[in-house]
């Protein structure tokens, strides 16, 4: 009996010594993982801010296919939350702070075999060249049992969290890119474009540099109209005076409609023009401008298949319904394409 008491006393000393040792070890942790996503931060922020999207990009369901998610009425913004049941543990998350498009804070709770664990999760969204830097972080403090378990088992908590965050950020990148790549093209058919006066600037350009040239010309026109207090009465448009796919070149005019004829100085690079009312085949692209060539080809195919004749006297033009500066997601950009036509007849098939 004395031996048993001695062994018990010795074991008690070991347990107490171990508890003291692990209690003195620093259990605080602050882990961050980051990536750069080539997308506006508004799009990424909105994706992270909505918990119902987390199933699409989070890595946890890949690791536990049995995981079931539960959503309350509010799933985005301050006070939003969701919860889950998993094979090894259950949990919940709630948004505690939101600074639109720059910062999100959340409290996450894990119900583990060792008890409840809480941590603070943070998200930062920063503008950088070519996109947005996304920083995903977690902060908290390990309780005594966790510190002992990690030490005895050799489990690397930091490494595991970093790998999980990296998988999540990779999944988030893929989902964001997929969302931005969505587009649709519809050939609306014959329409009547009313025409009118417009201010414009022209330039030759390579097709590769088309977007840059359009931005520069639109800036010239917009600046002059603002300086001269000239009324803008419609959507921006690009008129394609020539378009040579084989030669990788075009001559374009970028224009903003106005209410009446405007007299400009002789040396001005921004001029006033007039577009007559005309019958045209209209096609609508909803999506990134990189899909415009496909939209043009569909309009041209429609013209050929239906026996319309392109009016060579009036060049085709694009009208930009919304502003990419305000509508951040390219999948939501709307462009109308107009091909002026003559009376029905025959036409040689065109291709870009």
The residue extents of the domains of the chain are 24-181, 184-340
Q: What is the mean pLDDT of residues 173-199?
A: 97
Mean pLDDT of the chain, nearest integer: 88
CATH fold label, 184-340: Multidrug-efflux Transporter 1 Regulator Bmrr; Chain A (3.20.80)
Position 351 scores a pLDDT of 39
Q: Does pLDDT of 348 surpass 70?
A: no
pLDDT, tens digit (0-9, with 9 covering 90-100), for 203-256 = 999 988 999 999 999 999 999 999 999 999 999 999 999 988 888 999 999 999
3-state SS, the chain, equals: CHHHHHHHHHHHHHHHHHHHHHHHCCCEEEEEEEEEECCCHHHHHHHHHEHHHHHHHCCHHHHCCCCEEECCCCCECCCCEEEEECCCCEEEEEEEEEECCCEEEEEEEEEECCEEEEEEEEEEEEEECCEEEEEEEEEEECCHHHHHHHHHHCCCHHHHHHHHHHHHHHHHHHHHHHHHHCCEEEEEEEEEECCEEEEEEEEEEECCCHHHHHHHHHHHHHHHHHHCCCCCCCCCEEEEEEEECCCCEEEEEEEEECCCCCCCCCCCCCEEEEECCEEEEEEEEECCHHHHHHHHHHHHHHHHHCCCCECCCCCCEEEECCCCCCCCCHHHCEEEEEEEECCCCCCCCCCC
% of the chain with per-residue pLDDT over 70: 87
Position 349 scores a pLDDT of 39
pTM of the model: 0.82
Decide if 24-181 and 184-340 have a common fold: no
pLDDT, tens digit (0-9, with 9 covering 90-100), for 63-86 = 888 889 999 999 999 999 999 998
Q: What is the mean pLDDT of residues 303-332?
A: 95
The CATH architecture assigned to 24-181 reads 2-Layer Sandwich (3.30)
For the ranges 137-141, 150-154, 289-293, the lowest mean pLDDT is seen at 150-154
Instruction: Kindly indicate the confidence band of residue 3, based on its pLDDT and cuts at 50, 70 and 90.
Output: very low
């Amino acid at each position: 009996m004395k031996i048993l008491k001695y062994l018990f006393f010795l074991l008690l000393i070991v347990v107490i010594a171990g508890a003291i040792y692990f209690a003195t070890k620093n259990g605080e942790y602050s882990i961050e993982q980051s990536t750069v996503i080539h997308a506006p931060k508004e799009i990424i922020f909105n994706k992270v801010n909505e918990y119902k999207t987390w199933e699409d990009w989070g890595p946890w369901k890949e690791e536990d296919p049995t995981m079931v998610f539960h959503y309350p009425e509010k799933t985005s913004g301050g006070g939003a939350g969701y919860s889950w049941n998993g094979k090894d543990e259950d949990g919940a998350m709630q948004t505690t702070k939101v600074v639109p498009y720059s910062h999100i804070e959340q409290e996450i709770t894990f119900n583990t075999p060792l008890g409840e664990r809480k941590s603070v999760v943070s998200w930062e969204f920063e503008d950088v060249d070519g996109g947005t830097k996304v920083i995903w972080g977690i902060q908290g403090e390990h309780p005594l049992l966790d510190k002992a378990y990690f030490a005895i088992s050799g489990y690397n908590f930091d490494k595991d969290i970093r790998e999980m965050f990296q998988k999540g950020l990779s999944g988030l990148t893929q989902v964001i890119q997929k969302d931005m790549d969505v587009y649709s093209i519809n050939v609306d058919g014959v329409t009547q474009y009313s025409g009118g006066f417009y201010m414009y600037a022209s330039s030759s350009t390579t097709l590769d540099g088309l977007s840059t040239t359009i931005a520069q010309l639109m800036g010239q026109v917009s600046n002059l109209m603002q300086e001269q207090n000239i009324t803008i009465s419609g959507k921006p448009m690009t008129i394609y005076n020539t378009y040579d796919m084989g030669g990788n070149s075009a001559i374009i005019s970028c224009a903003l409609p106005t209410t009446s004829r405007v007299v400009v100085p002789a040396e001005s690079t921004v001029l006033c023009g007039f577009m007559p009312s005309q019958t045209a085949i209209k096609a609508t692209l909803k999506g990134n401008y990189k899909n415009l060539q496909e939209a043009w080809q569909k309009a041209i195919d429609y013209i050929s298949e239906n026996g319309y004749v392109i009016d060579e006297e009036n060049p085709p033009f694009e009208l930009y319904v919304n502003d990419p500066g305000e509508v951040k997601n390219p999948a939501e950009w709307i462009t109308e394409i107009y091909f002026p036509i003559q009376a029905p007849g025959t036409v040689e098939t065109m291709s870009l």
